[in-house]
Amino acid sequence: MANLRDIRRRIKSVKNTAQITRAMQLVAAAKMKKAQDQALSGRDYADLLNEVLVNLKENVDEDAHPLLEKREGKGKELILVVSTDKGLCGALNTNLGKKVRADAPNADVVSVGRKLRTQLGKAGRNMLADFEVKDPVPFAEARPIAKLLIKQFLDGKYDKVSVAFTNFVSTLTQEPTIVQLLPISAEKLGEKRSYEGVGKGEIGETDHAKALAKDYLFEPTAEDVLDTLLPLYVNFQVYQTLVESRASEHSARMVAMKAATDNANKFIKELTLEYNKLRQAAITSELLEITTAMKAME
């Protein structure tokens, strides 16, 4: 009977685990939906910003702003690494860490998220700064991150600034991605960005003809307006990667917790079957003993 008690305890323990993983799966699904809605809610702002920038770049010299400056040679690189604060999201952080080590082996790091900050710090990377971002991601919390990246680039400490994050492709697919943030390529302003997985189907390339057809009046000068809009553009790019990463995190956790729940339920069935076999064997043994005793008394 001791074995039966042990199996009953294991079944109860696994059922409790399954309830926890199921609850985590539902919470992650709700948070993923919020992250998707959050990304799409900024589309009107992004579309208008891209439209103005497309028009603006035709009215100024491409080298009129230092954020557009193409620097020669391969100087130092700074990379913003966006990982998660919590685990239980599969190989999300592991895959992103491999991507950073392979594609930016010597870059200094600005981190968002505890998991890769700890990992890269132990690997001896120069950790320039670390930021914590709430969930859901407030747009205001992207500003200090973008401001630091812009300052480091404008001060000439780095010739290239990139961002590493996990792109939300679909609920089942999250892709580690590294894209260049600075210097901004004037040719790519207004283009559809392939990493905007959360808004896939909603995001299109800016209509250049339509943008140029509008007769904007820039005051005081086009250069002054560009000086204001380009930092906003960088700020929005940082915000978009934060939202992408957060949606990927919740999606990966939802899938991982669903797999854990399915495995727990499968294990419960196996343990229940084993329990019933042992119980049946115990009953059969008792019946044999009773029958044997009755035969001996006859």
Within 8 A by CB and 6+ apart from 259, the residues are none
Closest CA to 253 of 29, 63, 89: 89
Beta-carbon contacts of residue 248 (< 8 Å; ≥ 6 apart): 92, 165, 166, 167, 168, 174
3-state secondary structure of 158: coil
Q: Strand, helix or coil at 207?
A: coil
Q: Which residues of 66-97 are buried (b: 16+ CB within 10 A; e: fewer)?
A: ebbeeeeeeeebbbbbbbbeeeebbebbeebb
Q: In what order do the strands lie in the sheet with 108-112?
A: 127-131, 108-112, 77-82, 160-168, 174-182
Catalytic residue among 7, 24, 54, 89: 89
Question: Is residue 176 annotated as a catalytic residue, yes or no?
Answer: no
Handedness of CA 249, 150, 63, 105 (dihedral sign): negative
Strands 77-82 and 108-112: parallel
Which pair of tokens denotes residue 98? 């491999």
- Give the integer Cα–Cα distance in Å for 35 and 127: 28
Q: Please calculate the CA angle 241-116-157 and round it to the nearest 5 degrees.
A: 70
Strands (DSSP E) found in 37-120:
77-82, 108-112
Among all residues, which ones are annotated catalytic? 89
